[in-house]
Amino acid sequence: MTRFGRTVPLLGLSLLSAAVLSACGGGGDDDDSTSPPPVTTPVSVSLEKVGSYESGVFLKSAAEIPAFDAASKRGFVVNAQKGALDVLDMSQPAAPRLIGQIDATAVRAGASVNSVAVQGGLVAVAVQDAVKTNPGLVAIYRAADLSLVGQVAVGALPDMLTFTPDGKTLLVANEGEPSDDYQIDPEGSISVIDVSDPAKPVARVADFSAFNGQNASLLAQGVRIFGPGASVAQDLEPEYIAVAPDGKTAWASLQENNALAEIDIVTARVKRIVPLGYKDHGLAENALDFADNDGENPAIHITTAPGLYGMYQPDAIAAYQAGDGNTYIVSANEGDARAWGEGTPAYFGDGAGGVGDPSKGFVEEWRIKHLVHKDGFLRRADDDLPAHLAGLAKGALLNPSVFAWCGAVAGNPGDCRADDQLGRLKVTWTLGYQTHADGSPRLFNQDGVADPAGDRLMYDRLYTYGGRSISIWDANGQQVWDSGSAIESFLASADCKLGAARNVPCADHFNTGHDETAQLDARSSAKGPEPEGLTVGRLGDKTLAFIGLERMGGVLVYDITNPRAPMRMDYLNTRENWTQAFSEDEAPDAAALSRLGDLGPEGLHFIAPKDSPTGEPLLMVGNEVSGTTAVYRLKLTY
C-alpha cells in the first residue's frame, strides 16, 4: 500500500505460467499475434489482494477508471479530483507507484478527464469541456512516453470509451447530460473514431436523430423518454459501450432510459433502441430488502413486494461469445435517477409553502411515504416536492387491489407508508400511475374514486432504481438470465465474509454505505448493494465476469460460460475498518484512510497473463471513495 505518496508492498506475486486469460469484448490490452498455448481450464477462481496505490484523498473520486498497457507496464487511472489521469508504474504489481500524469488542461483549458482505454500502446482519453454541455474531445497519447499523438472533437460529456478488438476503431459514449438547471440539454450520441492513423483520428457520429418524433412508439415499447421538453435524441444518454468480438456491432447502455442501443460500427449508425423491461419484485426469485427503517432497529428482511418493479438501468456492460457461438451482453444493473437542480431551492418551492418553478430543474426520485401521504404533496413544499410532480396533481394514492398486502385501502395507503414497510424506498414518480390513452393522468378523489374533478394520482405500480443484480442478454437485447435476489441473499448469508482476511461477517454490515460508518441496512431503501462496474475475461474455456458493488464494496466473480446458468465463484471485499465513524464532513487523514482499505469500487480492468508483469492474471480496481487503486491476482484451482 502507499501512504503519503510512498509505496509499501503487500504480498509477493508468484508466477502462474499455466494460465492464459484474454480479455473479451472491446477495449482490451495489447494484442499478441502469437497464439497462446492450449491451457487447462480451472475448476475455481478466487481473488487475493496483492498491492495498492493510495492517493490519500477521501470521497473525491481520486481513483475511478483503470487501464493497463502491457509493453510499458504502466497503469492509467482516472483521477476526477485532479481532472487528470494518474500514471502508475506497475512493473511490480505488489507496489504500484505514481510516476506521472496526463493533464487534460494541456489540450483544452478547464477540461477534465472522464475515462480511459488502452490498446496497442495507445492511451485514449475522454475529455470533458469545462462547460459539460459543450462538445468534448478524445485525446490519444503514447503509453511509453505520454506524448500527445492526436485528438478529435466528439459530443458533449464524452465518458466511457473502448477500442474494437483489432484496435483500429475507438468508440466513445457522449452522454449529453443537461445542465444542472436543465436549461441546456445536448443530444446524446456515440462517436465512432477511426484510429488506424492515431495522429489523424477521424470521428463519425452515431446519433439518435432518426428516432426523433417516435416518442409515443418508444414509450409504448417500454423505453423511458421523460425529460421535460426533450427530443428523443436529447433524452437518450449513452452510459457504457460493449463491442462484439467480431468488432462489427456495439451496444450502449442507456441507463436512465432503461434500454440498450445497438450500433452498427461499420456504418456508424444506431440500428435500434431496445427496452430492457422491468423486474417483478412480487416474485420470490426477485425478493429484496426494501426497508432501511431510517437507522432505527435495522434488520435484514429480504422479501417480496407485489406491485413493486425494478428498472434494470445497467451502468457497465460487456460483450462475449459463448460456446454456442452466439454473442451475449452481461450487465451490472446499478440504476440511476435523474436529479437536476436538486440543490436549487426555487425548484422545490417558493419559500411560502407554494409549488416550485419547474424551469429550474427536474427531479424524478421521491420516497414512497411522501408520494402517497393522505395530506397530499404540498406538505413537502419548500422541502423536497418536485415541481413537475406538483404540476400533475395534489396528491397520490396506492391501488388497494395491488397493495392490500401492506395495508392500503381505498383512499388511504395505510401501513404501506411505514418506515419498516415501503415508506422509505425511493421510486420514480414518473411511472406507474393510471393514465388516459393520450398519456395524461387519470384523476381520483381523496376517497379513491375515479373523478375528472379529482386531484389524486392512482399508482398501480411503483418503480424503483436498478435490479440489484447482474443480467445476461442476447444480441437482440432479450434477457436470458438474471441473478434475481442472489446478491443480497449471499450478502445476508453466513457464507459471506468481509476484509482481505475474510473474517468479518457480511451480515453484520448488510447493505451498508460506502462513504460513512458501516451501518447495517443503510442502503436497503435505495439501490441495495448497487452493482456498477464490470469487466469480462476468458480463462481457458471459462468466461468470467468481475462485478464491483459500489455501496457494499468488494468484487464478485461469476462464471458466465453458460449464459443461462452462471455461477458465483468468489467475493472479496478489502474494506478493513467497519466500525470507525467518518463522513464527508470529517474525512479521515491519509493514515486513517489507509487503515480503512478500499471503498466504493467504480471501474475494473482485467490484465491477461500474456500482458501481466508477473505472467499471472490480475485485476485492477479503482475505488472512488477511498481513492485507492487496488491490484488483485487470480488464484486458480485445477
- The alpha carbon of residue 346 and the mean position of all alpha carbons in its chain are separated, in whole angstroms, by 30
Q: Tell me the torsion sign for CA atoms 239, 245, 247, 248.
A: negative
Residue where the block lists cell 465474509: 497
HEC sequence for 480-501: EEECCCHHHHHHCCCCCEECCC
Please answer whether residues 153 and 182 qualify as being in contact, where contact means their C-beta atoms are separated by less than 8 angstroms. no
CA dihedral for 94, 100, 105, 106, sign (positive or negative):
negative
Distance CA 262, CA 115 (A): 21
DSSP 511-522: T--SSSS--TTT
DSSP state of 460: S
Q: Which residues contact 607 (CB under 8 A, 6 or more apart)?
A: 29, 68, 70, 617, 618, 619, 620
Q: What is the DSSP letter of 284?
A: G
Burial category of 505 from C-beta neighbours within 10 Å (exposed 0-12, middle 13-18, buried 19 and up) = middle
Residue 181 pLDDT: 86
Burial of 220 (0-12, 13-18, 19+ CB in 10 A): exposed
Question: Concatenated DSSP letters for 78-139?
Answer: EETTTTEEEEEE-SSTTS-EEEEEEEGGGTSTT-EEEEEEEETTEEEEEEE-SSTTSEEEEE
Q: Which one-letter amino acid corresponds to residue 123?
A: V
| Distance (Å, whole) CA 349 – CA 352 | 7
3-state secondary structure 341-409: CCCCHHHHCCCCCCCCCHHHCEECEEEHHHHCCCCCCHHHCCCCCCHHHHCCCCEEEECHHHHHHHCCE
CA–CA dist 37, 315 (Å, integer): 35
Q: What is the pLDDT of residue 131?
A: 97
**Backbone dihedral angles phi then psi of residue 12, each to the nearest 5 degrees:** -70, 155
SS3 labels along 210-261? HHCCCHHHHHHHCCCCCCCCCCHHHHCCEEEEEECCCCCEEEEEECCCCEEE
3-state secondary structure of 63: coil
CB 184 within 8 A of CB 246: no
Q: Are 311 and 333 in contact (CB under 8 A)?
A: no
- DSSP lists the bridge partners of residue 262 as 251, 272
pTM: 0.93
Question: The CATH number of 2-277+312-336+466-637 is which of 2.30.30.230, 3.40.190.10, 2.130.10.10, 3.40.50.720?
Answer: 2.130.10.10
Residue 502: which residues within 8 A CB-CB, separation 6 or more? 572
Alpha-carbon distance of 114 to 79, in angstroms, equals 8
Q: Tell me what pLDDT residue 39 has.
A: 55
HEC assignment per residue over 122-156:
EEEEEEECCCCCCEEEEEEEECCCCCEEEEEEEEE
Low-confidence ranges of the chain (pLDDT < 70): 1-39
CA atoms within 13 A on the CB side of 269: 6
* Residue pLDDT, tens place only, 242-283: 999 999 999 999 999 999 999 999 999 999 999 999 999 999
Q: Give the contacts of 402 (CB within 8 A, at least 6 positions apart).
A: 306, 307, 408, 460, 461
Domain map (residue ranges) of the chain: 2-277+312-336+466-637, 340-464
Rounded to 5 degrees, what are φ and ψ at 429?
A: -80, -5
Distance, CA of 349 to CA of 614 (rounded, Å): 59
Report the 10 Å Cβ neighbour count for 119: 27
Bridge partners (DSSP) listed for residue 169: 194
Cα separations in angstroms, 199 against 102, 115, 117, 152: 17, 20, 17, 10
Phi and psi of 364, rounded to 5°?
-105, -10
Q: What is the DSSP string of 553-574?
A: --EEEEE-SSTTS-EEEEEE--
Handedness of CA 475, 480, 481, 484 (dihedral sign): positive
Of 492, 597, 599, the residue nearest 552 (C-alpha): 599
Residue 575: which of 524, 521, 503 has the closest Cα? 503
pLDDT tens digits for 330-376? Answer: 999 999 999 999 989 999 998 888 899 999 999 999 999 999 999 99
Rounded CA-CA distance 229/245 in Å is: 38
